[in-house]
């Protein structure tokens, strides 16, 4: 079994894509009203089944439902500068782009209120929610392939005393990576009004994780130059200068190499022969206890919620693993961090409400694959604000914003798992079709700050290089709330 070879396939066991707002493993956009207003942590509408469940005591007696569908579209771009790219591409800088889309992301909130009691539930994609595809691979794939001409040059230097000239410059490789990640959440709990001002909630969320990773490295070829190609590479006596498999030359390179170097060369040989393939599913589950409190006084409403950390492992169900990194049956830490939210809503005018919120994700306390939590300074902080204005009895409009700041170190960021500071804006409106039916629509987009990671030993090559991580994100949402 090959050891883990992070140089070529550093596949972090982390989802490739999250659909919108929230921490490293949490989606907080679970209702269309969030998309159009953002700050819902003191909500007393049906969306409070997720955002502020203790506030549901403010509903009228009876059944209440909220259904939303979101469509999310995201790009993830890594711009890599690595000197060994230059001979093949004419520049040391290459862009790797991944596209992620999730056109159908449903969620459902439900509540039944009678007197001082409310029973509520929430079904949603509580983490992940999409599929990201890198059709031309990733820097961690290609930096290893780019080293092949240099390895061949070293072999050529060893053959010079034999009167044999061997060199190489350009390479080509077929590389592909796709991954999907879903954490399905089913929340259930009860709220109770202690008095006309104060209410509390207790409940839990069942989280079910379903991840998949597929990829390949194949058809690795190089441009060879030699004065005796048939001697150096038997079977290529008629070599015509086109790209050729470097497998035999790489076999020569293993002579007198260290054990670690031999393992890397063997992976390169596999990529040049039959290819290296990966097809792995991961699954797991965990339960998050949830507590909430709500305080109401005249025009002011304040909500507080705490979700406990969810200890969780995912298990590999591996069909193909040419990397030796995803052994079937192996469990990997995948904890969902604890979350504290605090929000306030104030009815400034009968038709105008102002809303603010704060989220803190305790990311450093949640175990992650390869102990990546060690590279987080505390956790993620989010600051939210929103305004909602009722035009008349039928129409209302809203807008809001969110600032996300993540205490991450360089070591946390990889080409398959990176997170960026950002700010987001949401806007939209709603229509009261009848007294008990409300239709919500919204649009939400995020602007991310690029992250530059410079390395003196890029991919174990001994050469300096850097990655610049970038993202874009936009979400459309529509939903209906109704009561009876």
Give me the pLDDT at residue 83, please: 95
**Token output for 191:** 């709220």
Averaged over 444-460, what is the pLDDT? 94
Cβ 363 vs Cβ 373: under 8 Å: yes
The per-residue b/e assignment along 176-201, b for 16 or more CB within 10 angstroms, e otherwise, is: bbbbbbbbbbebbbebebeeeeebbb
Q: At what angle do helices 139-146 and 259-272 cross, to 10 degrees?
A: 100
List Cα–Cα distances, 119 to 110, 201, 308, in angstroms.
8, 10, 20
Look at the block and give the residue holding tokens 């005393």. 161
**Token output for 346:** 């104030």
Give the rounded distance of the alpha carbon of 377 from its chain centre.
19
242 vs 434, more confident: 434
**Cα–Cα distance, 252 to 243 (Å, whole number):** 19
Averaged over 224-247, what is the pLDDT? 65
14: pLDDT confidence band, cut at 50, 70 and 90? very low
Instruction: Of 30-34, 134-138, 151-155, give the range with the top mean pLDDT.
Output: 30-34
Convert the pLDDT of each residue in 338-377 to its tens digit. Answer: 999 999 999 999 999 999 999 999 999 999 888 889 999 8
Averaged over 55-72, what is the pLDDT? 97
User: Is pLDDT at 296 greater than 50 in this prediction?
Assistant: yes
Convert the pLDDT of each residue in 71-115 to its tens digit. Answer: 999 999 999 999 999 999 999 999 999 888 888 999 999 999 999
Cβ 224 vs Cβ 230: under 8 Å: no
Averaged over 440-461, what is the pLDDT? 94
Strands 313-321 and 331-333: antiparallel
User: Is pLDDT at 240 greater than 60 in this prediction?
Assistant: no
**Residue whose C-alpha is closest to residue 139's, from 170, 109, 173:** 173
Averaged over 217-235, what is the pLDDT? 73
234: pLDDT confidence band, cut at 50, 70 and 90? low
Give me the pLDDT at residue 8, please: 38
Q: Enumerate the β-bridge partners of residue 445.
A: 425, 474
């Amino acid at each position: 079994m090959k050891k883990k070879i992070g140089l070529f396939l550093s596949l972090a066991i982390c989802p490739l894509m999250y659909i919108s707002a929230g921490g490293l493993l949490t989606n907080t956009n679970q209702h269309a009203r969030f998309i159009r207003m953002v700050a819902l942590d003191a909500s007393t509408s049906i969306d409070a089944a997720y955002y502020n469940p203790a506030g549901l005591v403010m509903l009228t007696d009876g059944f209440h439902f909220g259904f939303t569908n979101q469509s999310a579209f995201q790009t993830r771009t890594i711009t890599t500068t690595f000197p060994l790219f230059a001979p093949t591409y004419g520049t040391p800088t290459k862009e790797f782009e991944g596209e992620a889309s999730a056109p159908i992301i449903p969620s459902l909130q439900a509540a039944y209120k009678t007197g001082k009691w409310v029973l509520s539930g929430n079904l949603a994609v509580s983490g992940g929610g999409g599929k990201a595809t890198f059709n031309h691979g990733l820097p961690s794939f290609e930096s290893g392939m780019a080293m092949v001409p240099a390895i061949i040059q070293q072999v050529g230097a060893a053959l010079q005393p034999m009167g044999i000239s061997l060199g190489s410059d350009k390479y080509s490789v077929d590389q592909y990576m796709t991954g999907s990640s879903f954490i399905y959440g089913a929340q259930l709990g009860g709220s109770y009004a202690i008095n006309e001002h104060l209410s509390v909630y207790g409940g839990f969320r069942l989280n079910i994780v379903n991840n998949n990773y597929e990829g390949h490295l194949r058809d690795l070829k190089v441009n060879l130059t030699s004065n005796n190609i048939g001697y150096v590479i038997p079977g290529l006596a008629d070599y015509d200068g086109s790209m050729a498999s470097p497998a035999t030359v790489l076999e020569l390179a293993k002579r007198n190499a260290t054990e670690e170097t031999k393992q890397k060369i063997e992976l390169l040989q596999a990529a040049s022969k039959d290819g290296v393939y990966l097809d792995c599913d991961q699954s797991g589950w965990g339960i998050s206890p949830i507590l909430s409190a709500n305080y109401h006084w005249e025009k002011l409403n304040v909500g507080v919620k705490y979700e406990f950390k969810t200890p969780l492992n995912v298990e590999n169900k591996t069909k193909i693993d040419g990397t030796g990194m995803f052994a079937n049956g192996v469990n990997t830490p995948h904890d969902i961090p604890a979350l504290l939210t605090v929000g306030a809503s104030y009815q400034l005018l009968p038709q105008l409400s102002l809303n603010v919120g704060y989220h803190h994700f305790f990311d450093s306390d949640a175990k992650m694959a390869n102990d990546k939590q060690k590279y987080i300074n505390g956790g993620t902080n989010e600051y939210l604000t929103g305004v909602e204005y009722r035009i008349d009895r039928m129409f209302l409009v809203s807008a809001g914003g969110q600032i996300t700041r993540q205490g991450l170190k360089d070591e946390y960021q990889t080409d398959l798992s990176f997170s960026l500071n950002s700010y987001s804006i949401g806007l939209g409106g709603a229509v009261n079709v009848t007294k008990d039916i409300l239709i919500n629509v919204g649009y939400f987009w995020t602007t991310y700050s690029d992250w530059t990671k410079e390395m003196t030993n890029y991919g174990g090559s001994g050469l300096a290089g850097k990655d610049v991580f970038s993202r874009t994100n936009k979400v459309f949402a529509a939903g209906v709330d109704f009561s009876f």
